[in-house]
Amino acid sequence: MRVCSFFVLRIVFLFDQVGEIKRMRELFYPTLDKVYVIDQKCLFVIEQGEGMIEVDFKVYHDWQKKGIYLSKGQYIKFLSADFKVVKFNLEDAQQATSKEARVLFSHLVAVGHIDLKQSDHYLLSNLTPKQEVDSNTLITASTEQWFYQNPFNASRDEYSMIFDLKETIDQRYTAVTKANDIFMDSSAQIKEVSHVLKDKVGITINGLLQQKKSLESRKEVALTSKSIKEIAFDLGFKDPAYFNRVFKKWVGKSPKVFRELFDYQGRDMFMTDLLALIEAHFKQQHKVDFYADKMHLTTKALSKKVKDKIDQSISSIIKEKLVCSSKKMLSNGALVKEVAYRHGFEEANHFSAFMKHYTGQSPTAFLI
């Protein structure tokens, strides 16, 4: 895999039936704020790390012992410096192309994942860098776990209907503009699928279509060196000026500005420097003013720049770091008072109120 080849620390080679050597499992420590573009279906297992990851322009938190499924064309970026990741390459597994496995790789409104800690399947709950594992068995077990978690509270028939639609949109999004273009032969089918999609996923068919168009537009702008005109034509827009207007409506920025802010080649060290600063001080410094002063910016200017870069506030980054770090200490047996002090809270009751507000549970709920 192109994006991971420089960071592989250990490679386990498996032999297929005709004796070819295949690289299935890789262990690496990703570089902070670096974009890793995916070139095949794979599973990322977060062995170690607190904080945020970014997948396809969305930021997610607290991924320790989660299994993240990605497909060719997606990207992942790690926004903390302490991640240890195991990657399983699954492209050659027969099960990867099954209709059941679509739930893992064809994401709807968020990145597909399973919770390894909550799995009763030994293979999943004990995945380690050294473990021997068959890729087909891994996908089968993961699919079972996904259906057990049932994130959209739907039946298997309903999931099949939803992912049939998603598959059609993924294949035809450049050629269609509305739901009627997808189901030209059946208004009854539109009504049935619309109801299931809205009820279970909370989005309309047109919403899912526009979401796909928007995502692929951002990928083309951010991850390629194509001209905006070329991107517009490739995505089915006959008028590049119209594409510019639609893109700005979707994203809030012109394609040119969005490309500059995303900074795929990593020339701008702003986010790397800021995240390293937060990593070093978040336990004692909770205010944005402190980080603005260190970055030689006003609070307003810093907040705007971070929002433009990752569409998230600095306060939310700090709070998520505090929550993840506190939960880890509590689960390792630390006293609530000690955790509160280590994370810059003058009183244990202030810390308890903070945890209750941001997790819905008191600190004692995380004690083992």
Q: How does pLDDT run across 239-250, given as a tens digit for each residue? A: 999 999 999 999
pLDDT tier for residue 7 given thresholds of 50, 70 and 90: very low
Over residues 141-153, mean pLDDT: 92
Query: pTM for the full model?
Result: 0.80
Joined tokens for residue 18: 């005709």
DSSP letter at 89?
E
Pick the range with the lowest mean pLDDT from 3-7, 157-161, 211-215. Answer: 3-7
Select from 296, 285, 342, 290 the least CA-distant residue to 318: 285
Over residues 11-24, mean pLDDT: 39
- Considering the chain, what percentage of its residues have pLDDT values greater than 70? 90
Burial of residue 318 (CB within 10 Å: 0-12, 13-18, 19+) is: buried
Joined tokens for residue 32: 């902070």
Joined tokens for residue 14: 């498996």
- Residue 130: count of CB within 10 angstroms of its CB: 9
35 strand-pairing partners? 77
Contact (CB, 8 A) for 45 and 85: yes
| Torsion 353-310-177-100 (CA) sign | negative
pLDDT at 2 over 50: no
The dihedral over CA atoms of 349, 286, 335, 82, expressed in degrees to the nearest 10, equals: 150
pLDDT at 133 over 90: no
DSSP letter at 53?
E
